């Protein structure tokens, strides 16, 4: 009976995909049924950095002299008009959350092999301001964190970090004021729970690193915490 139900479900799925073919969210070509949100060809063409195999890399260099970082890596290079930009656009602005979780699952397998990312206790995403998250409906970095958590077997703590200040409200301020403000833009829920933890802090794209830095400095105020970082992409 179960087999019969499965058969009909598959049949209706196939029929549905005939009517509404799914398209690869990176290149726009037709996707075969039951595939990820991007095609095999795009998966092979992803501009991977392999930073997780290097103790010092372009990612960790960007934080040099700013904070003590255990390890850091980005999955992909972000280039204009490239595959990463397409995927990020679908994730952030078209609500395709599966792009984030699928990339997270893939990257989690790679990070688990990294000799520099050992002994992680918890994964946390850089939070959006509540107003922005309501507007977007989700936090894209949480999707990536969720995927990493699934394939690495490390818990993903949502809402442990809170963003109390939105970047929008900062536009009228001077650069110095903005920097100063950023230091106080984040708060931690139940900081005692994070004591002695090695935290993997996750974001979507690393550019200047100001946001990641502010989050990490907040986390490092908790006694004996250690912070590593991972992002979906790094902008060159
Ligand atoms: Zn494709």
Instruction: Give the confidence band of 48 by pLDDT, cuts at 50, 70, 90.
Output: very high
Cα(39) to ligand 1 centroid in Å equals 4
Cα(89) to ligand 1 centroid in Å equals 14
- Do strands 122-125 and 72-78 pair parallel, antiparallel, or not at all (unpaired)? unpaired
Cα(150) to ligand 1 centroid in Å equals 24
Shared domain check, 96 and 18: no
> Can you name the residues that pair with 202 across neighbouring β-strands?
125, 230
As given in the structure block, the two tokens for residue 109 are 């397998």
Cα(147) to ligand 1 centroid in Å equals 20
Query: What's the rounded mean pLDDT across residues 56-71?
Result: 96
Cα(24) to ligand 1 centroid in Å equals 5
Shared domain check, 148 and 73: yes
Shared domain check, 139 and 76: yes
Helix 97-112 × helix 83-93 angle, to 10° = 130
Cα(8) to ligand 1 centroid in Å equals 28
- Give Dmax (Cα) for the chain: 68
pLDDT of residue 157: 96
pLDDT of residue 175: 65
Shared domain check, 129 and 14: no
The rounded percent of the chain whose pLDDT value lies above 70 is: 86
Distance CA 104, CA 188 (A): 24
Q: Is the pLDDT of residue 170 over 90?
A: no
Shared domain check, 97 and 18: no
Domain hosting residue 218, numbered range: 47-235
This prediction's pTM: 0.88
Instruction: Give the confidence band of 152 by pLDDT, cuts at 50, 70, 90.
Output: very high
Cα(29) to ligand 1 centroid in Å equals 6
Q: Which helix (H) or strand (E) holds 175?
A: helix 175-183
User: What confidence tens digit (pLDDT) does each residue in 182-218 have?
Assistant: 778 899 999 999 999 999 999 999 999 999 999 999 9
Q: 174-202 b/e with 16+ CB inside 10 Å = b?
A: eeeeeeeebeebbebeeeeebeebbbbbb
Cα(164) to ligand 1 centroid in Å equals 38
Q: Is the pLDDT of residue 155 over 80?
A: yes
Cα(131) to ligand 1 centroid in Å equals 33
From 13, 28, 45, give the residue that closes a domain.
45
- Do strands 161-163 and 186-188 pair parallel, antiparallel, or not at all (unpaired)? antiparallel
As given in the structure block, the two tokens for residue 190 are 């139940």
Cα(40) to ligand 1 centroid in Å equals 7
Distance CA 236, CA 230 (A): 16
Q: Is the pLDDT of residue 16 over 70?
A: no
Cα(153) to ligand 1 centroid in Å equals 28
Cα(23) to ligand 1 centroid in Å equals 8
Q: Is the pLDDT of residue 82 over 90?
A: yes
Q: How many domains does the chain have?
A: 2
Shared domain check, 52 and 38: no
């Amino acid at each position: 009976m179960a087999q019969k139900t499965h058969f009909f479900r598959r049949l209706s799925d196939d029929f549905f995909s005939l009517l509404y073919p799914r398209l690869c969210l990176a290149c726009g070509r037709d996707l075969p049924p039951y595939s990820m949100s991007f095609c095999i060809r795009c998966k092979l063409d992803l501009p991977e950095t392999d930073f997780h195999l290097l103790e010092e890399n372009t990612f960790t260099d960007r934080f040099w002299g700013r904070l003590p970082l255990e390890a850091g890596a980005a999955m992909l290079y972000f280039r204009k008009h490239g595959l990463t930009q397409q995927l990020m656009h679908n994730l952030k602005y078209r609500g395709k959350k599966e792009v984030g979780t699928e990339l997270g699952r893939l990257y989690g397998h790679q990070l688990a092999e990294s000799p520099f990312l050992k002994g992680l206790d918890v994964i946390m995403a850089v939070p959006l301001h509540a107003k922005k998250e309501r507007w977007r409906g989700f936090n894209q970095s949480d999707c990536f964190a969720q995927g990493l958590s699934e394939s690495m077997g490390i818990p993903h703590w949502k809402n442990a970090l809170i963003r109390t200040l939105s970047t929008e409200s900062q536009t009228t301020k001077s650069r110095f004021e903005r920097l100063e403000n950023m230091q106080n833009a984040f708060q931690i829920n139940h900081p005692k729970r994070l004591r002695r933890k090695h935290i993997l802090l996750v974001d979507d794209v690393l550019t200047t690193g100001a946001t990641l830095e502010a989050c990490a400095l907040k986390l490092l105020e908790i006694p004996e915490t250690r912070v590593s970082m991972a992002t979906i992409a790094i902008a060159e």
